[in-house]
Amino acid sequence: MVILPLVRKLKKRIHREIAFAQDLLIQEVFRIFDSAILHDGTAIWRCYQSNRFSEDVDFYISSKENKKIEKFFGELKNFGIKILKQKLTQNALYSKLKYNEAEIRFEALFKERKNFATKEYEMVDGTKIVVNTLPPEELIKEKVEAYLKRRKIRDLYDIFFLLDFAEKKDVKNELSRLLRNFKNPEDEKELKYLIIVGTAPKLEEMLKKIKKYGEN
């Protein structure tokens, strides 16, 4: 079976540019910040081989390393990445970056996470680097919280996808909470535009799988 690199799967030029910029960004984060842990959509896409495209890059970084932020942004500029917006608070860094025509939101929460996993991150050219990310059970917990707050179809898809990697007993309570408080997504039709190859699963199919893990 021939496995295509991401650059061959991404049909839109802007998606390829975003993916390449993510690679530059993530390599610099792990080079500069010893405590960095990648999470959220891009972690699921690149480290667990999800089929959903994700634009944003989200990290946990220890507050002990926030003095390295200026050095980090300086290195990004050397790669031609422009800093469009930057907001630094006591608890987090929020920024908007631009590489060629691609814009990316980069966010870092200054929080130490002891429960993390070491995984291979697939770069756009098909090569891989080893990074720290969250285990699937922790990513599911984050995604349940996100879905209940904003009801985005992408969060539900991420839960649906990650169930193949998770220990059922470790996510049952969170999934039960999701099902008890479930309301239909506000953007259900958007999922088909985020799936890289193939077709998007129907809402009913995703809920059926989630119920299998959350109700028994």
Cβ(35)–Cβ(64) under 8 Å? yes
Please report the domains of the chain, with CATH numbers, ordered by start residue: 7-134 (3.30.460), 137-214 (no CATH)
Confidence of residue 21 (pLDDT cuts 50, 70, 90): very high
- DSSP string computed for 54-85: ---EEEEE-GGGGGGHHHHHHHHHHTT-EEEE
Q: Which amino acid is at 204?
A: E
Does the pTM surpass 0.85? The reply is yes
Give the type of residue at 173: N
Q: What is the DSSP string of the chain?
A: -PPPPHHHH--SHHHHHHHHHHHHHHHHHHHH-TT-EEEHHHHHHHHS--SB----EEEEE-GGGGGGHHHHHHHHHHTT-EEEEEEE-SSEEEEEEEETTEEEEEEEEE---S--EEEEEEPTTS-EEEEEE--HHHHHHHHHHHHHHH--HHHHHHHHHHTTTS-HHHHHHHHHHHHHT----TTGGGHHHHBSSS-PPPHHHHHHHHHHHH--
pLDDT in tens, 140-154: 999 999 999 999 999
**Closest by Cα among 24, 61, 21, 54 to 40:** 54
What pLDDT is recorded for position 64? 93
Nearest to 120 by CA among 52, 57, 26: 26
Lowest mean pLDDT among 5-14, 17-26, 128-137, 154-163: 5-14
pLDDT for residue 2 = 53
